[in-house]
Homo-oligomer: A and B are copies of this chain.
Amino acid sequence: MADFDLMRELAKNDGGKIVLLVMDGLGGLPTESGGDTELEAAAVPYLDQLAREGCCGLSMPIGPGITPGSGPAHLALFGYDPLRYVIGRGVLEAFGIGLSVGPRDVAARGNFCSLDADGLITDRRAGRIATERSAELCDRLSSIRLAGVQTEAKPVKDYRFALVLRGEGLDPHLADTDPQVVGQAPLPVRSLRPEAEHTALLFQSWVDQARPILADQHPANGVTLRGFSSDPNLPKFGDVYRLRAACVAVYPMYRGLAQLVGMDVLPTDPGDTPADEFDRVAAAWDRYDFFFVHVKYTDSHGEDGDFDGKVRVIEQVDQGLDRLLAVKPDVLIVTGDHSTPSSMRSHSWHPVPTLLWAPQTHRPDAARSFGESECMKGNLGIFRAADLMVLALAHANRLTKFGA
């Protein structure tokens, strides 16, 4: 992975412009012996040409056999050792919906849940209430007051919400209150180290005040909290890579991740197609050195087991790609954060097809199209995702040489 001390020493303030295009869950599997993967089945003339002209390989998000969540998978693509830099779920959720979480704040992921007359959980997801309903409930919860601390609760999606406490002396070392099974009451907020005891009391007070507010709101008459966490204070792109970096992503979590590593998050619409996202890159082209562009629905269709749907999203990306190529990036990387084979309906550990196209500096290889099998012929080999940023900077002529 990127050695940040080395990057600070070698990275220059000038050089070419880089686009990192991430199709979430891009890697796949064939559904029958000898068949194509989703990417291989897709008609992608632009991507095939880029693969033919540039260099290819397969990236391992974490290491052999390890299936990543979206957080660590993206941190790796951004050059961070995903086993060292760990981001709590609470922070991810909060950032994703535009809540700020400073190093002294604590965020939690909340679930609305259903409680019976005895206070025992009957549904950990409150019947999967709609996001709009969640928003109404969060509004009601905004009446909660805690001594010396600000609180903010906002809906994420369906029964999920994010809760942030802001103030002095907060500590995120708290245990989840979700017992993970029905038939039990939510657990009390418990501190995992003495310094967090005050914070535990504050969160518990919030939960206690929420109870009467939600009492008549069945199926969402209870809450559980988990993933208590603070801003991990990651090294920032501007500092370690000397990049003015921007993020174009529709889905909240990826905007949150980009913000954590110091990217500016450009405005998007929830309905943006890949082509729309590329237009947003073009519109901001002069202001940044690096663009992270995230396409979500490859992963969503993979998780749904929808091979053809995933193929269609990949083809959509290709169909819009002329808009991205028109701005003439010096380095264009196309990859995924992990594999999501539709046959498995889940993230997986399989290495992710990756192409790096940098007409001034890439060394061409034997890959003739963009797909899992052809990438095996590429000269990037099987590499750690966390090494990709260094390759991006190198191909953009943004690194000086090491040693005399």
Contacts and interface: CB of A to CB of B under 8 A. Distances in A.
A344 B359 CA distance: 12
A157 B84 CA distance: 46
Contacts of A393: 65
Contacts of A391: 64-65, 349
A24 to B, nearest CB: 14
A69 B383 CA distance: 23
A255 interface: no
A357 to B, nearest CB: 11
A319 interface: no
B394 A66 contact: yes
Interface stretch (A26-34, A131-139, A287-295): A26-34
B379 A63 contact: no
A404 B89 contact: yes
Nearest to A72: B403
Interface in A345-388: 346-351, 361, 363-366, 372-373, 376-377, 379, 381-383, 387
Contacts of A366: 373, 376
B376 A351 contact: no
Contacts of A29: 361, 363
Copies of this chain: 2
9 contacts: A63-B387, A64-B387, A65-B393, A68-B403, A69-B403, A70-B404, A82-B403, A89-B404, A344-B361
Nearest to A346: B401
Contacts of A3: 63, 83
A71 B403 contact: yes
B382 A381 contact: yes
Nearest to A53: B33
7 nearest CB pairs, A to B: A65-B390, A65-B394, A69-B403, A72-B403, A64-B387, A67-B401, A65-B391
A333 interface: no
A62 B346 CA distance: 33
A164 interface: no
A227 interface: yes
A86 interface: yes
B401 A347 contact: yes
A344 B399 CA distance: 14
Contacts of A348: 361, 394
A325 interface: no
A83 to B, nearest CB: 7
Nearest to A382: B381
Given A3-B83, A29-B361, 6 more contacts: A30-B363, A64-B390, A65-B387, A72-B403, A365-B373, A372-B379
A340 to B, nearest CB: 11
A359 B349 CA distance: 16
A87 B394 CA distance: 23
A369 to B, nearest CB: 14
Nearest to A27: B363
Contacts of A67: 394, 399-402
B364 A86 contact: no
Nearest to A388: B64
